[in-house]
Amino acid sequence: MGKAREINATQDKQTIETRVRALLERMSLEEKVGQLNQVQATGPNVVEDLAPAIRAGRVGSVINVVDPEAVKALQYIAINESEQGIPLLICRDVIHGYKTVAPLPIGQAASWNPDLVRDCARIAAEEASADGINWTFAPMIDIARDPRWGRIAESLGEDPYLTGVLGAAMVDGFQNSANGGADTLVACAKHFAGYGASEAGRDYNTTNIPENELRNVYLPPFHAALKAGVETFMTSFSDIDGIPATASDFLLDQVLRREWSFDGAVVSDWDAIHQLVIHGLCENDIEASYLAAQAGVEIDMISSAYERHLPELVEQGRLSMDRIDTLVGNVLRVKIRAGLMDRDVMALPEEPARMKGLNLVREAAQQSLVLLKNERATLPLDVETLKRVAVVGPLAHEPAEQLGTWVFDGDAERSVTPLMALESMLAGQVEVEHVRALETTRSKDRSGFEPAMHAAQAADAVLLFLGEEAILSGEAHCRADISLPGVQAELVRHLRAAGKPVIGVLMAGRPLALGSIIDQFDALIYAWHPGTMAGPAIVDVLFGRASPSGKLPVSFPVMSGQVPIYYAHKQTGRPASPETVIHIDDIPSGATQTSLGMTTFHLDAGYKPLFPFGFGLSYTHFDYSDLTLDKAQILMGERVRAEVTLQNSGDRSGTEIVQLYIRDRFGSVTRPVRELKGFQRVSLEPGESQRIAFELSTDDLAFYRRDGSFGAEVGDFDLWIGPSSTDGLHASFRINA
């Protein structure tokens, strides 16, 4: 680490550019194209299979080789047997952990804890780099407002600000503040851009995002990642306004290079250069290569189109050598800045101590849990008074499922399941009876209902572990109906008849639509897929050894048909309000159209989510009071300081995530009804109170305006500080010219 820091310190911009130019001068066209070529490792003879191409300088990066001996052998060939001796980028999707798995990104986002998110990325980097991996395809910072889209699991939720802050923390963790050390991974901001808006929440689908919304909602997290020093970007599979992202000169050249001055590398998504042909944007791989290279894709992930066609495009004079040099220079710059050219990449760092990772992901899992409901203080459970619990459901003891999606290397043997944790942590105190009841969350066989009922009747409380297996979310795993799969809802209703407290722990890769079942739970914890240490984290919270502190990073719909539903929606000209909403069951017979509220709502679902963005309960109670602003009016360039008193008025210690929202009351383009602009995690003992301060500058209130420029506008603003996106104390201020 010390050595790496020294290397970086001496690597000023000029030195790096001199090194890049010197390399380019020595390289043949074939070798240059090699740096743009990413190949995959398949089959048992990876080294033998890839050796000739690497030796010839025709490969710059290799995806999916995780055997450290194979990595070392490949790096050896690249460094010692190829003419230029340039090390390889060895890439892998290390998304939320490597062998030790942290909660899904959407779960980590529920912690609203950038330090913790950074630490999770750090430990993943330490574990993965020990196997020779030096590049991860994370963070995924696509704004995800449609939970039908399976990839919402990998996202940091619906909000640009929260996603930006947490995405930047992940970048910093993987790259360890870009120190170029052996235990770091080059990070990759993906998918640039707009992928989360895939129509109907169906993966890979077309997106329709007007430029103003693209700039105000979808692009800001990528800009935040860039400011955090992310070295690479990945293009999105999707098209916007008729142009697939992999050929979008608007996104890759105009925004990324010209406006943001990005000087790292862009990688296509898997086979996405070839898929330009399938999109119907061009006729063949030659044209696809031309379009991607012109737009600014440096690295071709596995389609081999670049390798096959870039040389001829240069020979035909369609692509200039300058263009090729720019692309290759961007890749070389990443390799230099990541320290690959200066350290011995065959000397792999030690794997970190296992306990370090386990302790961290346990803490992360605990902070990712969101308490959605807790009637009559059902939770926490009391080991002193509880004699027996029934543990029911297909997800109580599934070491692999609790890891969630994108865990190629996750070691399920390390998993501690809720059942294991309940049995070991309650041994000698509380009896645990486990009935699976359903084979999977999708099963429709009800024969397990009766044994579950017996267990419920014999117990003091029923703990139901339900939700979705890992396979039901993630890439290419989308659902149109996002209610609880199979007959799980029936199982809940069935067990309710036992008359015992029904406590749900739902594990899933997306917000589920719980409107029709929520009333059946006395208490409900939303656990996402919590990772390796799901069990201890959940038991800690169930039994009050820790107070839940998670808050939703995404809105929960009442029913599937409401999506997309998100807090930062526009006001519209006809906003809904409780007085204007009517339910389909209440429409009087013979009513005419005009007797209904003429506002924006659904007859069967109203207009509110079941649980709003930012929502989450605690075992204690927090009071907000005395919101003050230091100024009621500010000028452009000035700041306003908002302060509030937060008191823990309950009788347990706890952590509150204090949220600051604003609304720009009118603008040259319509503005969201609320926007998150800050948050703080605050831990308080019972009775303790603290004054919490936020500072907002007019830059924080800037947005892309009607004329395309970026800046704040004069006018009135609302400001709220509170516990969620639909709550809080209110104040207002004005920006004057």
Amino acid type, 514: L
Give me the helix-helix angle, 321-337 and 305-315, nearest 10°.
140
> Would you count residue 93 as binding ligand BGC (CB under 6 A)?
yes
Q: How far is the CB of 270 from ligand BGC (least distance, A)?
A: 4
Amino acid type, 637: G
Tokens of 262: 């990005």
Give CA–CA dist 407/673, Å, rounded.
Answer: 37
Give CA–CA dist 106/95, Å, rounded.
Answer: 11
- Name which of 301 and 662 has its Cβ closer to ligand BGC: 301
* Cβ neighbours of 388 (radius 10 Å): 14
Pick one of 270, 569, 636, 645: the residue that binds ligand BGC (CB under 6 A). 270
Give CA–CA dist 190/238, Å, rounded.
Answer: 12
- Name which of 475 and 522 has its Cβ closer to ligand BGC: 475
Q: How far is the CB of 347 from ligand BGC (least distance, A)?
A: 27
The residue of the chain with the least Cβ separation from ligand BGC equals: 137
Q: Among the residues of 237-372, which ranges form H helices?
A: 249, 275-279, 285-295, 305-315, 321-337, 354-368
- Name which of 150 and 612 has its Cβ closer to ligand BGC: 150
Q: Is the peptide bond before 193 cis (omega within 30 degrees of 0)?
A: yes
**Which residue of the set 131, 159, 183, 269 is catalytic?**
269
Distances (CA, A) of 703 to 128, 214, 364, 668: 38, 11, 33, 10
Q: Among the residues of 426-557, which ranges form H helices?
A: 449-458, 488-496, 534-542
Give CA–CA dist 557/153, Å, rounded.
Answer: 16
Q: How far is the CB of 249 from ligand BGC (least distance, A)?
A: 21
Distances (CA, A) of 208 to 79, 199, 205, 241: 45, 8, 10, 6
| Secondary structure of 674-700 as H, E, C letters | CEEEEEEEEEECCCCEEEEEEEEEHHH
Q: How far is the CB of 58 from ligand BGC (least distance, A)?
A: 20
Q: How far is the CB of 617 from ligand BGC (least distance, A)?
A: 34
142 given a catalytic annotation = no
Q: Among the residues of 158-304, which ranges form H helices?
A: 160-175, 211-213, 220-227, 249, 275-279, 285-295
- Name which of 275 and 374 has its Cβ closer to ligand BGC: 275
- Name which of 250 and 270 has its Cβ closer to ligand BGC: 270
Give CA–CA dist 596/636, Å, rounded.
Answer: 44
Closest CA to 84 of 14, 11, 133, 32: 32
Q: How far is the CB of 137 from ligand BGC (least distance, A)?
A: 3
- Name which of 272 and 546 has its Cβ closer to ligand BGC: 272
Q: How far is the CB of 104 from ligand BGC (least distance, A)?
A: 14
Give CA–CA dist 294/152, Å, rounded.
Answer: 31
> Would you count residue 190 as binding ligand BGC (CB under 6 A)?
yes
* Cβ neighbours of 688 (radius 10 Å): 13
Cβ proximity of 523 and 373 under 8 Å: yes
Q: How far is the CB of 228 from ligand BGC (least distance, A)?
A: 19
> Would you count residue 475 as binding ligand BGC (CB under 6 A)?
yes
Closest CA to 186 of 243, 129, 240, 131: 129
* Cβ neighbours of 508 (radius 10 Å): 28
Q: How far is the CB of 475 from ligand BGC (least distance, A)?
A: 6
Pick one of 142, 269, 468, 656: the residue that binds ligand BGC (CB under 6 A). 269
Pattern 559-578, ligand BGC, x by CB under 6 A: --------------------
- Name which of 194 and 536 has its Cβ closer to ligand BGC: 194
- Name which of 136 and 648 has its Cβ closer to ligand BGC: 136
Tokens of 379: 């939770």
- Name which of 93 and 398 has its Cβ closer to ligand BGC: 93
- Name which of 100 and 246 has its Cβ closer to ligand BGC: 246
- Name which of 63 and 701 has its Cβ closer to ligand BGC: 63
Q: How far is the CB of 190 from ligand BGC (least distance, A)?
A: 6
Pairing of strands 523-526, 502-507: parallel
Give CA–CA dist 152/201, Å, rounded.
Answer: 9
Binding-site residue total for ligand BGC (CB under 6 A)? 6
Q: Which residues share a beta bridge with 682?
A: 656
Q: How far is the CB of 102 from ligand BGC (least distance, A)?
A: 18
Give CA–CA dist 301/103, Å, rounded.
Answer: 27
Pick one of 112, 135, 137, 733: the residue that binds ligand BGC (CB under 6 A). 137
Closest CA to 623 of 719, 682, 689, 676: 689
What does the binding site for ligand BGC look like in residue numbers (CB under 6 A)?
A: 93, 137, 190, 269-270, 475
Which residues carry out catalysis?
A: 269
